[in-house]
Structure 1
Amino acid sequence: MLAGKDTTSSALTWFFWLLSSHPKMEAKILAEIKSIHARRHSFDDDAFGFEDLREMNYLHASITESMQLYAPVPFNSLHCLADDVLPNGTTVKKGWFVSYASYSMGRMEALWGSNFDEFKLERSLEAETDTFWPESPFKYPMFQGGRICAWGRRWSKLTIMFTATLMELRFLPPQSQSILLFLFSLSILYFFFFIFRRSTPDGVPAYPPGLEPYPLLGHLPQFVKNRRRLLDWFAECIAATPSNSFVLCRPGGVRGLMTANPVHVEHILRGRFELYPKGPRVTSLLHDFLGDGIFNSDGESWRLQRKTASFEFNTKSLRSFVLRVVRDELLARLLPRLNQAAAQGVVLDLQDLLERFAFDNICKVAFNQDPACLSPDTATAAQDPFSSRFASAFNDASDITSGRFRYVVPKFWMVKKLFGVGSERRLKEAITTVHEFAVKIIRAKKKEKQTYSVSKPSSLFKADDLLSRFVANEDHSEDFLRDIVVSFMLAGKDTTSSALTWFFWLLSSHPEVEAKILAEIKSIRARRHSSDDDEFGFEDLREMNYLHASITESMRLYPPVPSNSLHCQDDDVFPDGTAVKKGWFVSYSSYSMGRMEALWGSDFDEFKPERWLEAETGSFRPESPFKYPVFHGGPRMCLGKDMAYIQMKSIAACVLERFVVTVVREKEAPPPEKMVTLTLKMKGGLPVRVVGREKC
C-alpha cells in the first residue's frame, strides 16, 4: 500500500504540471490516443485495454521523462554490512549508509547531455520507429534495480498511463473517493504548512518572501545557504521587515528576535535592562573561558565588578598608563617593523601586525606582562605564530569559544565537551594554559602587595596595571581576579585591531579622506610647533576630530563586535508593539544598524566621515548609542571606549604621518570576506606595502 499510495500520484502530479507548459507535447499525446482509437475502431468512451496502453509509446516516454526530472522516490539508502571497495576505488566502511539520489541522477549533464534539464520526450524513443527505448535501471533507478527492482513497475506504469489518458476523456463522478480523499488531505497539509511558515504564534508579523521558517528545521535551510554571508543576510532580512526585526527559529526549539531597530535596542539596554540579562545560553557558552567575569555575569556579581572597574577606568592615572603603553609599543616595535618593511619592499599582513600589537598592549595594561608578540626577533614574517605559549592559547580559546555560537545544533558542543573530543578538547587545553598563567601572575601580584605592606605599612600598594589596581583595593579571590582580567583582555585583544584593519582597508580606496586626516595632523603639529618625531599627547589626540570621525565611520560599516545577544526573562512587549516571549534570545545587530537607509540616509553604504561632524565647526558630533551601539549602551556601556579611541587614534596618526599604506589586491577584486569570531575579522588578512612618506 505504501509503495503504491503516493508514487503514482506524485509522478502524475509532476507530469500534468510539466505538460501544462508544453502544449506541443500534449498535442502529440492526444494524436497518439486518437490514432489508437481509429485503429481499434473504438470510441472516446471506450476503456483502454492492455494492448492499447502498450502502444502508447509517446505517452510512455512522456511519463518516463517526467519521472527523470521529478522522481517519485528521490533517493534511496542502503546499509553496508562489511568493508567494501567500489569499482572506481571508492572505499566504503562497514556500518556506513550508502545512498543514491535518483533526483540528482536525472539532472546530470554527463548522463543525459547538455539538455538534461529539459522536458524532452524524444530521448526515450527510437529515432526511426518511435518505439519506447528503456534505459539501464542503474542509470535510471526510478524503480530501483538489480534484485530489488520494483515488482510493481509494470503495474505502476499501466496505472499512471491509464490515469494520464483521462485528460482526453470527460470527467465523471468517481466511483472511488480515494483520489478525492488524497487531494483533500494534501490541501489540508499544505494549508497548515502555509500558515506555519507565514506567521508565528503571538501575532508576530508575516515574514518577507524567502524568510519563512520551515517545520522542525526553522531557518536552518536559509542559515546554511547563507553561511558564508550571515551578516549581510541578517542585514537584508532585517531591512525587509517593517519593524526592522524578525523572529529567528533554530532547530531544537530555540527562538529569538533579531533586531536593528533603535527603539528596540534602547528598550533592552536601558528601558527594561533588568529584564534582559546575558542569560543562561550566552553565559554557558562563555563560562569555561570567562568564568563569572564582568562580560559573562548578571545581577549582583555584575554590579560589583562594574562598580569596581568603573572607578578604575575613570582615573587619570589609568588613562596616562594606557597612553604610555601605546607610545612604547609604537616607538619600540610597530614603527620599526614598518620601517624595516618599507626598506625591504616586502608585503605585510597588517591585520596580523595589529593583532600582535593589541595583544602586547592589552597584556601590559591588564597585568604588566609583555608577551613580545611584536618583537622583531619573534615576528620576522606575517605568518609566524605568536611567540608566547600564553598568547597562542589565548588566541585558540577565544576562537573556539566563539565557534560555539555557530553550531547548527545549538548544544552539540556539550556532547563534544562531555567526550573530550575535537575542538572542545583543544579548548580545554588552551583554557588551562590561560588560567594557569593568569593565576601565576595573580599570586605574584598578591605576594608583591604583601611584601609592600610589610616594608611600607603606612602606605597603600600602588601600581598602574588593572590587576594591581584590583589587588590593591580588596582581597578578591583568585577566581574573581582571573575572570575579570581575562574578560578585559578579551575585550581589548581583537576589538581595536579589528577596527583599525577595516579602517586602513577603507582608507586605501578613499584618498580624499586620507588627505584630510593628514591635513588635520599637520595643522595640529603647526599649532603645537612640534615635529613628526614628537609624540602625540592627550590634547593632540582630542583635537583630531576628522580622524575620530573617520574611525567612527569605519566602525559603523564594520563594527568590531557585529552583534550582541541578551536573554528575555519574562514575556514583554516593545514600545512599537513587537511581542517577545519568555526564554527567547534578543540579538541586536550593530552591523545591520550601520547599513540601514532609514537610519543613515540614502548614502548609508558610503564611507563618509563628514556625517559625524558639525557642518560649521568641524567638531565631532556623537550619535545615540542606541542608533550606534558599537560600544553598547545603557548600564553596560563599554568602560574601555575612551581607552580604545586613544589607542586607535594614536596608531592611525603615527602610521599615516610616517607611511603611505597601500593595500595589495587585484584590480576589480571583490571586497574582503568577513570572518566572524568573537570579533569581525578580515579573512586572509590585509596584505599591504608601506613606503616612507615624504616630509613636507
Structure 2
Amino acid sequence: MSPAKTLLQGGSFFNGQLKRIQAEPTGEPHRDWINNVPNDGLIYYTSILNEGRLLVTSPQALSEVLTTKSYDFIKPQQLRNGLGRILGIGILLAEGDEHKRQRKSLMPAFAYRHIKDLYPVFWDKSTKLVDGLMSVVRKDGKESVKSIDDAAIVEISGWSSRATLDIIGTAGMGHDFNSLEYPDTKINVTYRDIFSPTPQQRRMALLGLFLPQWFLRALPVAHNNRIVDSANTIKEVSRELIRQKKRNLDSKEKRVDADILSVALESGGFTEEDLVNQMMTFLAAGHETTASAMTWAFYLLCLHPDVQTRLREEIRANIPPIDETETETVTAASLDQCHYLHAVCNEVLRLYPPVPGTVRETGCDTSILGQYVPKKTKILLSPWAINTATALWGPDADRFNPDRWMGPGKANSGGAESNYAFLTFLHGPRSCIGQAFAKAEFACLLAAVVGRFEIKNADEDFKLEIKGGITAKPKNGLTVRIMPVEGW
C-alpha cells in the first residue's frame, strides 16, 4: 500500500490503536484525531493485529469514497455476515448491481411526495407517545415509575424506541405493533434485547473482525442462541406481514396504501425473500436510529432550557393544541413552518449522529486523493468526527447551537461550506434512502413531546457515559423529569 501522508503515531506494537478505540465511546478517538492530527484528508492508523485503516477526513476524500467511486468501497464481508443475521441482506448491505436494482425499486416509497402523505401517521403516533407519558404523570398508566406532584420521572429512551417501532410498523408495513401501549410485545422485547449488547456480544463482535462467521456461529455460547432466536422472530413477523399485505392488495379493494411495503410490492421488483430482507432492514435500522436521535435531543434540551423554551413557543405558535386536532390537520406544510424545530433536529443529528461510524473495504485496487489504495484496505467513515471537525464547522464545532441552521442559505447546510461536513446520512448512491422519512418522523415526535412537556434531567449531577455499538446512546438510558406545561 502507498500509505497516507499522515501516519498516526503511538499505540500497541501488535494492536495499534485498538485499546483506545475499545476503551472510548465509538468515534471519540477519531473525533480527537481529525481535529488534532494535521493531515491532508487521510489518516493512516493500525488496529487489531496491526491491520491498517484509513480514516477519511476531508470533503474531497469523502466525495471520492461516497460519490464518484462509491462502488469501489464495499462493506466488509465480516460486517455483512454479522449484521445480516438481524438486518437481512436488504438495501443497507447489498452491493454493486444488486444494490442499484434495490435502490431503484425502493426510491418511489421514499420520495418526498410519498413521505408527506405519511405525516398523519407520524403525528398520530407522536400524540400516542404524549398520551402514554401523560398517563404516567397522572399515575394511571401501566408503567412502574416514580411520579411526583404533576410530574413524572421516566426513562425516555425506551419510550422513544417504542414510538419509532410503532411508526415504522405502521408507515413501513401497514401494521401497528402497539408497543407504546403494550411494551412487552414480542417484537419490542426482541429488539430491546438485540440493541442492549452484553459483554459477550462485544467480545464476539471483536472476534468477528478476524475469525470466519461459520466458526463464530458454531461456538456454544448464549450470544449465538440469542441472535438465532431474535432473527427467527423478526423473519416470522416480516414474512407474515408481507403475506397479509399481499392478500390485501390482491383482494377486490383497489385502494393503494401509503406504507412502504405496499409500494415495494406494487413495484414488482422483489421476491418474497427479497421483501423479508428489506423489512428486516427497515424494522431495525428504521426505528433504532431515530430513537437514538430522540434520546440525544432530550439530553441536549435538558442542558439548554433556553433552547427548549424557544422551541416550545414556536411549536405552539404553528401547530394546534394536541388535544384539539385530528391527525390529518398536522401536515408536512404545518411542520415546515417550524424553522427552529428543524434547526434543533439538524443540530442534534450533527452533534450526535445515531450511527457514529461505518467501515468500508476497497473491493478493487483504487485510489483516494491520488494515493493508491489496494484491494481489501479498510476505510473508516466517521460521522461522529466529521460532524464536529473544526476545519469544517469552525471553532464552536462541538457546541450545541441550533442557530447555525437559521438564516438565508443555512437551513440545509448549517453554514458549512461543504455538504460533506454533515455525514449523518452519508452521501451519494449509498446514502440513507430513508433520510426524509427519518427527519419527518423525528420532527413530529419532538414537536409533540416538547410542545406538551417541560423536560429536565432527573439527576442534576448526571454525568454522560456513552454506550457504543451500532448506535450511540447514553449508557443505561436517559432518565428525565417530565412536567406538562399548560396551554397546549
Give the TM-score of the pair, scaled to structure 2: 0.87
Residue in structure 1 matching 2:309, options 515, 518, 527: 515
Matched, 1:564 2:365: no
CA pair 221-272 structure 1, distance change in 2 beyond 3 A: same
Matches within 5 A, 1:289-304: 289-304=86-101
| Contact preservation (8 Å) 1:536, 1:650 | no
Q: Which residue of 2 aligns with 1:442?
A: 242
Shift of 1:406: 4.2
Residue in structure 1 matched with residue 144 of structure 2 by the alignment: none
1:170-207 Cα offsets, whole Å, 9 max, x none, are xxxxxxxxxxxxxxxxxxxxxxxxxxxxxxx6343454
> Deviations for 1:32-80, whole angstroms, at most 9, x for unmatched residues?
xxxxxxxxxxxxxxxxxxxxxxxxxxxxxxxxxxxxxxxxxxxxxxxxx
Q: Is the 8 A contact 1:568 1:582 kept in 2?
A: yes
Aligned pairs for 1:484-523 within 5 A: 484-523=278-317
Is 1:235 the counterpart of 2:56 in the alignment?
no
Per-residue deviation, 1:403: 4.5
Preserved CA contact (<8 Å) 1:351 1:686: yes
Contact 1:360 1:371 in 2 (8 A): yes
**Kept after mapping to 1: 8 A contact 2:91/2:278:** yes
Aligned to 1:600: 393
Which amino acid in the other structure matches residue 564 of structure 1?
T
Over residues 334-378 of structure 1, what are the superposed CA-to-partner deviations in whole Å (9 max), with x where a residue is unaligned?
111222233343310111110111111111122222222110xx3
CA offsets per residue over residues 370-400 of structure 1, 9 Å max, x none? 222110xx3xxxxxxx422122224434556
Could you tell me how far apart the structure 1 residues matched to 2:454 and 2:400 are? 20
Q: Which residue of 2 aligns with 1:220?
A: 18
1:11-51 deviations in whole A, cap 9, x for unaligned? xxxxxxxxxxxxxxxxxxxxxxxxxxxxxxxxxxxxxxxxx
Aligned to 2:206: 407
Residue type matched to 1:548 in 2? H
The 5-angstrom pairing of residues 160-239 of structure 1 reads 202-205=2-5, 207-211=7-11, 213-214=12-13, 216-224=14-22, 227-239=23-35
Distance 2:193 2:385 in 1: 28
Cα separation, partners in 2 of 1:251 and 1:603, compared to 1, 3 Å: closer
- Counterparts of 2:153 and 2:426 in 1: how far apart (Å)? 36
Using a 3 Å threshold, how does the CA distance of structure 1 residues 618 and 307 change in structure 2: closer, same or farther?
A: closer
Aligned pair in 2 of structure 1 residues 203, 437: CA closer, same or farther (>3 Å)?
Answer: closer
The structural deviation recorded for 1:506 is 0.8
Kindly report which structure 2 residues correspond to 1:532-547, keeping only aligned pairs within 5 A, or say none. 533-534=324-325, 535-547=329-341
Structure 1 residues 506 and 249: CA distance shift in structure 2, 3 A: same
Following the alignment from structure 2 to structure 1, what is the Cα–Cα distance between the partners of residues 219 and 411?
57
- 1:473 is aligned to 2:279: no
In structure 1, give the amino acid aligned to 2:178. A
Secondary structure in structure 1 of the residue aligned to 2:360? strand
The structure whose Rg is larger is 1
In structure 1, C-alpha distance between the alignment counterparts of 2:203 and 2:107, rounded to whole Å: 30
CA apart distance, 1:300? 1.8
CA separation of 1:511 and 1:594: change in aligned 2, threshold 3 A:
same
Does residue 273 of the first structure (1) align with residue 80 of the second (2)?
Answer: no
The answer as to whether partners of 1:220 and 1:408 remain within 8 angstroms in 2 is no
Q: Which moved more, 1:398-407 or 1:597-606?
A: 398-407
Question: Residue 56 of structure 2 aligns to which amino acid in structure 1?
Answer: T
| Aligned counterparts of 2:444 and 2:113: Cα–Cα separation in 1 | 17
Mapping of 1:342-491 within 5 angstroms?
Answer: 342-343=137-138, 344-345=147-148, 346-375=152-181, 378=182, 386-397=183-194, 403=202, 406-407=205-206, 410-412=209-211, 414=213, 415-450=215-250, 452=251, 455=252, 462-474=256-268, 476-491=270-285
Residue identity over aligned pairs, in percent, reads 24
For residue 480 of structure 2, the aligned residue among 688, 691, 695 is 688
CA contact (8 A) 1:503 1:551 kept: yes
The alignment partner of 2:46 has SS state of strand
Aligned residues: 467
TM-score (norm 1): 0.63
2:465 counterpart of 1:673: yes
Question: Judging changes above 3 Å, is the alpha-carbon distance between structure 1 residues 245 and 396 closer, same or farther for their aligned structure 2 residues?
Answer: farther
| SS of residue paired to 2:359 | strand
Q: Which runs of 5+ in 2 are unaligned?
A: 139-146
Asked if the contact 1:275/1:570 (under 8 Å) is kept, the reply is yes
Separation in 1, partners of 2:74, 2:6: 28
Q: Distance in 1 between the 2:294 and 2:162 partners? A: 13
CA distance in 2, matches of 1:656, 1:589: 30
Give, in whole Å, the separation in 2 of the partners of 1:499 and 1:405: 26
Q: Quick one: which amino acid aligns to residue 324 of structure 1?
A: P
User: Of residues 382, 385, 406 in structure 2, which corresponds to 1:613?
Assistant: 406
CA RMSD for the aligned pairs? Answer: 2.7
In the aligned structure 1, how far is the partner of 2:377 from the partner of 2:167? Answer: 38
Q: CA deviation at 1:273?
A: 1.5
The partner residue of 1:330 within 111, 123, 126 is 126
Q: Deviation digits for residues 578-622 of structure 1, max 9, x if unmatched? A: 54332012111000112221111111121111112226x985645
1:231, CA displacement in angstroms? 2.4
CA contact (8 A) 2:120 2:330 kept: no
Amino acid at match of 1:217: N
SS of alignment partner, residue 74 of structure 2: coil
